[in-house]
Amino acid sequence: MSLTARFSCLNEYDPDALSVDQARTFIRSQLTPVGTHERLALRSALGRVLASDVIAPFNVPAHDNSAMDGYALRHAELSCNGASRLLVVGTALAGKGFAGSVGAGECVRIMTGAPLPAAVDTVVIQEMVQADGASVVVPAGQRRGQHIRLAGEDLAAGKPALVAGRLIRPADLGLLASLGCAEVSVHRRLRVAFFSTGDELCSIGTSLADGEVYDSNRYTIFGMLGRLGCEVLDLGVVRDHPATLEAAFREAAAAADVVITSGGVSVGEADFVKGLMAQLGEVLFWKIAMKPGRPMAFGRLGDGAHSAWLFGLPGNPVAVMVTFYQFVRDALYVLMGADPLPVVPPLPAVCTAAIRKAPGRTEFQRGILSQVDGRWCVRPTGAQGSGVLRSMSDANCFVVLEHDRGQVAVGDQVQVQLFDGLV
């Protein structure tokens, strides 16, 4: 079934009035991870997506051991009614256990991580006991099994230590190292080609002519893709000329898994852009009920082995970033094989400024989140126009104003999406 047919079969999906959630849902439903894997040295795997489960070859910890510095003993030797005096018969160190046996009325000095001596079932921390020559006095109230880490309680032999789809974090590197893994299988890097369209755009390093502006979108797109660990191909600024655009689209589709463009999808843009995209593949053009970023294109370019997913983003700088973070980011993670997708949970905050808002669209205001008198407060970063890139640079969050929400008064609670973890 074609992309258009799949879209049209979905109830209440109107390309002229698509909600943010509807667009997200449809995009994700069409994507599957790239199939190619590679093996990497452990230190090179940070930020990559695990391609297969990692099975623990042994228990971690490998043996019952002490979680604290203290004294290892048999709980049955302790009095129920008062303190107990026990003879210290040896010492157990991490990496060098106590080889002897622990008899009646005896205990062993033990360090954190040291293997538990045979028949011992309890550790009393050193701060709790009173040393008295070769003996220690243990107060009443000790719990059987306390301060002991059991063999396999962290990782059990034969069980998955990490599952496929995991985005490898620093803690995961340590976990894999604890299993002796020198290499790991990961999905290959996602290849993304991008370019800007427009005769008014000028690359930095050249002088501006009348009516020209420097192309900022390619630099923000480069930065956003770089933070995701993508392999990027920057095709520069492409003029609004059919033959030039066709060549750029064909080059991008042949070289990449995903093609991202900025500009050329708004009402009033050259008609040949939409026709060209349709000629080279299958592309849906949407008007999404959101601000900024209303116009967007999604689809495929090329066919067979040389096809790529296309995201045609608006031309305004803020709209580019908003649509990237709200739609493209998660789509790229899906294609990378990430499962579950990284989540940036919303945070409630008190709005310290009034915001004009009409129901019927989702708005992403750029905001500054801070703590005031112990509560989270947010204020917009001044002018919110889709061309005001300063509003993104100054901000540390999106103020997410839901589809059906109206005006926001001072003191109202709003939801914010933190840039930390998103950008």
* CATH, residue 98: 2.170.190.11
Residues 14 and 42 in one domain: no
Give the end of a domain, one of 137, 166, 187: 187
Within a domain: 206? yes
Residues 72 and 52 in one domain: no
Per-residue model confidence (pLDDT) at position 267: 55
What span, in angstroms and rounded, lies between the C-alpha atoms of 117 and 209?
A: 81
Full-prediction pTM beyond 0.85?
Answer: yes
Residue carrying the six token digits 């509560």: 375
Which stretch of DSSP H or E encloses residue 356?
A: none
Helix (H, G, I), strand (E, B) or coil at 319: helix
Helix (H, G, I), strand (E, B) or coil at 382: coil
Residue 162 near residue 50 (C-beta atoms within 8 A)? yes
Residue 369 near residue 408 (C-beta atoms within 8 A)? no
What span, in angstroms and rounded, lies between the C-alpha atoms of 303 and 308?
A: 8
Name the pLDDT band for 383 (thresholds 50, 70, 90).
confident
Going by C-beta distance under 8 Å and a sequence separation of 6 or more, which residues neighbour residue 168?
45, 46, 47, 48, 49, 50, 162, 184, 186
Helix (H, G, I), strand (E, B) or coil at 278: helix
Residue 124 near residue 142 (C-beta atoms within 8 A)? yes
Residues 265 and 158 in one domain: no
Within a domain: 342? no
CA angle 211, 217, 218 (to 5 degrees): 115
Residues 56 and 157 in one domain: yes
- Residue pLDDT, tens place only, 270-279: 456 777 888 8
Give the end of a domain, one of 315, 336, 357: 336
pLDDT at 20 over 80: yes
Which residues are paired to 299 by β-bridges?
Answer: 283, 310
- Residue pLDDT, tens place only, 221-266: 999 999 999 999 999 999 888 899 999 999 999 999 999 999 877 6
Residues 250 and 291 in one domain: yes
Within a domain: 247? yes
Within a domain: 125? yes
Angstrom distances, CA of residue 295 to CA of 12, 175, 228, 288: 18, 44, 24, 6
Residues 192 and 329 in one domain: yes
- Residue pLDDT, tens place only, 114-141: 999 999 999 999 999 999 899 999 999 9
Angstrom distances, CA of residue 298 to CA of 54, 116, 410: 35, 60, 38
Within a domain: 329? yes
pLDDT at 202 over 90: no
Residue 317 near residue 387 (C-beta atoms within 8 A)? yes
Q: Does 340 sit behind a cis peptide bond, omega within 30 degrees of 0 on the bond before it?
A: yes
Angstrom distances, CA of residue 177 to CA of 45, 67, 302, 347, 353: 12, 21, 42, 35, 50
CATH number assigned to the domain comprising residue 267: 3.40.980.10
Nearest to 30 by CA among 229, 297, 300: 300
Arithmetic mean of pLDDT, 202-226: 90
Q: Which is more confidently placed, 269 or 340?
A: 340
Helix (H, G, I), strand (E, B) or coil at 310: strand
Residues 174 and 243 in one domain: no
pLDDT at 306 over 90: no
Per-residue model confidence (pLDDT) at position 271: 53
Per-residue model confidence (pLDDT) at position 268: 56
DSSP state of 97: -
Quote the domain boundaries for residue 56: 38-60+153-187
Within a domain: 341? no
323, amino acid identity: T
Per-residue model confidence (pLDDT) at position 13: 76
Give the end of a domain, one of 309, 336, 363: 336
Number of domains into which the chain is organized: 4
pLDDT at 392 over 60: yes
The pLDDT > 90 percentage for the chain reads 78
Within a domain: 423? no
Burial of 103 (0-12, 13-18, 19+ CB in 10 A): exposed
Nearest to 112 by CA among 60, 61, 174, 65: 65
Residues 267 and 218 in one domain: yes
Residues 163 and 244 in one domain: no
Within a domain: 163? yes
Residues 219 and 322 in one domain: yes
Per-residue model confidence (pLDDT) at position 371: 95
Rounded to 5 degrees, what are φ and ψ at 300?
A: -125, 145
CATH number assigned to the domain comprising residue 175: 3.90.105.10
Residues 242 and 254 in one domain: yes
Residues 366 and 304 in one domain: no
Which tokens is 96 given? 């060098």
Burial of 393 (0-12, 13-18, 19+ CB in 10 A): exposed
Arithmetic mean of pLDDT, 308-337: 95
Residue 41 CA, chain-centre distance (Å), reads 22
What span, in angstroms and rounded, lies between the C-alpha atoms of 310 and 226?
A: 18
